[in-house]
Each structure stands twice: as C-alpha cells, then as structure tokens.
C-alpha cells in the first residue's frame, strides 16, 4: 500500500485557503491546471511509497512513539510558491523548525520499521494546490496570488498516517484518493495509545 505521513489542517484553515484558491482559479490558464481538492489538503511529513502490509504494525508503533516525543506546535498556512513549472503550493509558517523535526522523526520511524526509504529531499513543507499537466501555463501569476496569503494559526496536535489510492489507469482527470489509516496525538506521554496504536483503532 502507498503510504505517507502528514499534518492535516483543520476545517477553519481549509475554509480560508479555499476562499483564497477560489480567487486563483479565476486567473487565466487556471482551467488548464489540475487542482487538488480541499478534502485532500495536507502537509506531507514523510513519503513512504509502497509499504508491504506486513510492515504496517511496526510502522504504526514507531510513528506512535515518534508522535509522543514531539510536543504540539503552532502553524499557519502562509505564502506559497512553485516547483519549477509543475506545481503551485501553499507554504507553512510558525512552527517550521518543529515541523522539520517531526518530519525527520516520521522518516526515521519508517526506516527503523524496515520501510525501504529512498533518499529524502531536504524537507520543504508545502501543500500542493495545483499541478500543471500541459506544462504550458505560466505559474507565476498563481504564485503572486498566493504569496500574500496568511491563514489562521492552529496548534498541530496529530501525526497522521495516510494511504494514497492512485487513480485507475487511463481515467483522465481522476485524482488519488486519500484515506487516514491512523493518527496519533503529539506529546501524548501517558501511553494511552501504546497497546492499541494500530490502524483498526484510529
Ligand atoms: P506533492 O504534493 O508535492 O506531490 C501523496 O502523494 C503525498 O506524498 C503528496 O503530498 C506528495 O507530494 C507526496 N509525495 C509523493 N511522492 C513523493 C516523493 N517521491 N517524495 C516526497 N514526497 C512525495
């Protein structure tokens, strides 16, 4: 199964960003981009790729442990940018150092669980808003549009393991479907989830 760990923005933050994105979607060329859905918005912490189901219990146990070691931290969706001419994204502000440390732990947890991790790129927290399918759209106006955005702050309190179901081959315009497998509270040192951190208990 294809898995990644993530921080999910709360409903209020998603609503604000959706209002901002509605503006971006009126810009010339917007209809040629493939926009992510608000239900899918997330900040990836670590991408695991295909994980053998046998590794899942160990991965969950180690992610639970990682979550316990990190206290909750503040975050807001703010600013944005692009990856070359491929992706427009919204950025994060506030607890970026804490988020980076959590991302490192989320990677290490998987490595220790035996998940074959590819070489990790330097961590760059981003929330993908749109992908450029045709490579013909100039993404700079979209970046200019999101640059000034500064959403409400919230306290990140959970590390979430997400499964990505890829679209069926050949179905144009379909997006991956994301499913929460499990979530663990940050900084929860009372061991409440220790014996039942598996996906069936999420
Ligand atoms: P993206 O939004 O920049 O595409 C599910 O696919 C999540 O995992 C997305 O947030 C995606 O980032 C991220 N992801 C997919 N492949 C990845 C890879 N090879 N390395 C890092 N993150 C990846």
Confidence class of residue 174 from pLDDT cuts 50, 70 and 90? confident
Distance from residue 162's CA to the centre of ligand 1 (Å): 12
pLDDT tens digit string along 99-142? Answer: 999 999 999 999 999 999 887 778 999 999 999 987 789 999 99
Q: Which two tokens stand for residue 114?
A: 């035996």
Beta bridge partner(s), residue 35: 130
How far is Cα 167 from Cα 183, in angstroms, rounded to an integer? Answer: 24
Distance from residue 175's CA to the centre of ligand 1 (Å): 13
Closest atom of ligand 1 relative to the 36 alpha carbon: 2
> Nearest residue CA, atom 6 of ligand 1?
164
Over range 186-192, report the average pLDDT.
68
Measured CA to CA in angstroms, residue 78 lies from 84, 88, 108, 161, 194 at distances of: 19, 13, 27, 23, 34
Distance from residue 151's CA to the centre of ligand 1 (Å): 23
DSSP-derived secondary structure letter, 17: H
pLDDT tens digit string along 69-88? Answer: 999 999 999 999 999 999 99
SS3 label, residue 137: coil
Residue of higher predicted confidence among 65 and 198:
65
Tell me, what's the pLDDT at 133? 82
48 in ligand 1 pocket by Cβ < 6 Å? Answer: no
Tell me, what's the pLDDT at 195? 40
Q: Total structural domains in the chain? A: 1
128 in ligand 1 pocket by Cβ < 6 Å? Answer: yes
CATH of the domain at 112: 3.90.1140.10
Tell me, what's the pLDDT at 190? 55
Over range 32-53, report the average pLDDT.
96
Measured CA to CA in angstroms, residue 55 lies from 30, 110, 122, 127, 164 at distances of: 41, 9, 25, 27, 16
> Nearest residue CA, atom 12 of ligand 1?
44
pTM for this prediction: 0.91
Asked if 128 and 87 count as a contact pair (C-beta separation under 8 A), the reply is: yes
The rounded mean pLDDT for the chain is 91
Helices 140-147, 11-24: crossing angle, 10 deg rounding = 140
Rounded to 5, what percent of the chain is helix, strand, coil? 30, 30, 35
Distance from residue 47's CA to the centre of ligand 1 (Å): 6
Give the domain extent around 99.
Answer: 2-200
């Amino acid at each position: 199964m294809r898995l990644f760990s993530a921080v999910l923005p709360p409903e209020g933050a998603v609503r604000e960003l959706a209002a901002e994105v509605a503006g971006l979607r009126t810009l010339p060329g917007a209809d040629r981009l493939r926009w992510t859905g608000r239900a899918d918005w997330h900040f990836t912490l670590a991408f695991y790729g295909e994980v053998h189901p046998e590794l899942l219990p160990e991965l969950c146990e180690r992610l639970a442990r990682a979550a316990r070691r990190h206290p909750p931290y503040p975050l807001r969706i703010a600013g944005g940018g692009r990856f070359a001419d491929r992706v427009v994204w919204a950025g994060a502000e506030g607890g970026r150092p804490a988020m980076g440390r959590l991302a490192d732990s989320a990677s290490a947890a998987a490595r220790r669980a035996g998940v074959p991790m590819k070489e990790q790129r330097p961590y760059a927290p981003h929330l993908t808003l749109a992908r450029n399918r045709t490579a013909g759209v100039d993404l700079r106006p979209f970046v200019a549009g999101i640059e000034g955005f500064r959403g409400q702050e919230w306290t990140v309190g959970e590390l979430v393991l997400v499964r990505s179901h890829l679209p069926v081959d050949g179905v144009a315009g379909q997006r991956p479907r994301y499913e929460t497998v499990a979530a663990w509270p940050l900084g929860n040192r009372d061991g409440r989830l220790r014996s039942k951190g598996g996906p069936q208990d999420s």
